Amino acid sequence: MFQGQIAVRLASMAGASSQNFFEGTEKLLEVWFTGGSEGSDLRDVKQESWEKLLRVVRCEIISKTSNADMDAYVLSESSMFVTQSRFILKTCGRTTLLLAVEPLMELVQEQCGFKKVLDVFYSRKKFSKPEQQHTIHQSFDEEIAHLDKMFKNGAAYTLGRINKDCWHLYTMDAVGVMEPDQTVELLMWEMCPDTMQIFTKKLCQDGQEATKKSGICDIIPGVQIDDFLFDPCGYSMNGLLPGGYYITIHVTPEPHCSYVSFESNVPQENYMELMEKVLNTFKPGKFLMTVFANKESIAKDNHKRLEDKDYVPGYTRTDHQFCTFKNYNLTYSHFTRPII
């Protein structure tokens, strides 16, 4: 089912020269739907319909795991999560994620009866090589223009240094989601070469071995894990917890383009301990952290825990920004290892 897309990805990932660069930086889309009947549920969408949608994005399903609250898909390029009213798609490489937004809205109205988008979030770190992306993704301005055609009250932001590492966000200027909601991301690069070796077939036979050997299984205990180790290298995992909570980790291990992402919506008042666990697992040279939490979430005041964190063990903060939206607080922090 997915062999063609994996072959494409492996062709991009194999080898160690700059000619075989793979863009680990993901495009992240989260859409909340409303306006359906009492029984409307995105999980009722047929798998063949998801597969058709993902072909627009240029990726395919590798595996699926589920619990009572969520379906999670490991993809040939990252992950997809589906709950009753929320859709999350995260894709790396040269995928064309934004081309799927309009057909997604048509699909969920046809098969689930949802007639309205309650809220939308599209975000990504600055690409290492934007010129290798599809035209729609080569600049944030192009992405904004595409989204503005569908959302009349869209709002776009860039946090961080626009001439260095920065992070882009597109959302709706609306109150939106009123149930508790939060997302924490750590985007990491200039990775430890020894750690990255774990995510290659030279050192591990499969995803399960890489998950255990790296310590990923200990970051949030009790997670139901679905993992995959690509050949010859590269790693993806989804983890589910009761209540509609997830974690997802993706690793691009090649030294010339090493990159790791960690994302979770597990609610915590303070994400510092979780952040340090992730950093101790992967040992990046640089990372940025974002915490997005609405006013119903216990994480809504997390920015107060981060305001005075100019230094975390092994890292110095180079940028820190805080934004308040109509119903969300957003904190952005960028850290780097001190040059000795």
Catalytic sites, residue numbers: 23, 26, 78, 92, 236, 250
Q: Quick one: which H or E segment has residue 249?
A: strand 245-252
Q: Quick one: which H or E segment has residue 160?
A: strand 154-160
Tokens of 295: 């006013």
For the beta carbon of residue 68, count every other beta carbon within 10 angstroms.
Answer: 8
Backbone dihedral angles phi then psi of residue 322, each to the nearest 5 degrees: -130, 130
Please check whether residue 299 is in contact with residue 268, taking contact to mean a CB–CB distance below 8 angstroms.
yes
Calculate ∠ Cα 200-206-210, nearest 5°.
65
Tokens of 229: 């180790």
Nearest to 22 by CA among 226, 236, 214: 236
The one-letter code for the residue type at 35 is G
Peptide bond into 232 cis (omega under 30): yes
